[in-house]
Amino acid sequence: MKEHIKDNLMNFFIIVTLVNIVIFACGMILMPEQQLTYTAFLVPIIDGLLGIIPGLVMYSKRELTVRQMLIREVIQLLSIEAIILFFTFGFSGSLNIKYLLVVATSVAVVYVMVNVIRYFLDIRSAKKLTDELKAFQSTHGS
């Protein structure tokens, strides 16, 4: 469980960083004249917190098959999409489809990028652990 919380904390910081980049890129493309207020700094933090909720809820101690893992990833992405879109647009009567599509696409891109970054971090950790194990085996004669 401790490792799961650590993983979600790492995901939070990756999400916050990527959301900042997405807000910058989308803002420069869609609304370059728009001025941001200090409250805009809270958006990535809130999105980061909302983005890890499904990961916290869908925790499982047992090993999942590849199929179960893929289904979990799809459910997690759809859950994050629903949460972020609800908190972004709520029940507003006037829904701008263009911005809804931009936000939904951005959420999906951030989700994929978080998984790609985590994959490379996991590879790096596995390599380090393998190297340490080889060094241990060579010094302890096996």
Q: Which two tokens stand for residue 87?
A: 């908190």
Task: Assess contact for 53 and 83: CB atoms under 8 A.
Answer: yes
User: What pLDDT does residue 97 have?
Assistant: 87
Residue 61 per-residue DSSP state: S
Three-state DSSP class for 11? helix
Q: What is the pTM of this model?
A: 0.83
Q: What is the 3-state secondary structure (H, E, C) of 17-51?
A: HHHHHHHHHHHHHHCCCCCCCHHHHHHHHHHHHHH
Residue 110: half-sphere exposure toward Cβ, Cα within 13 Å: 32
10-residue mean pLDDT profile of the chain (142 residues): values are 86 94 91 88 92 84 87 92 89 78 94 95 94 90 64
pLDDT at 18: 95
Owner of token pair 């994959």: 119
pLDDT at residue 93 in the model: 64
pLDDT of the residue at 142: 57
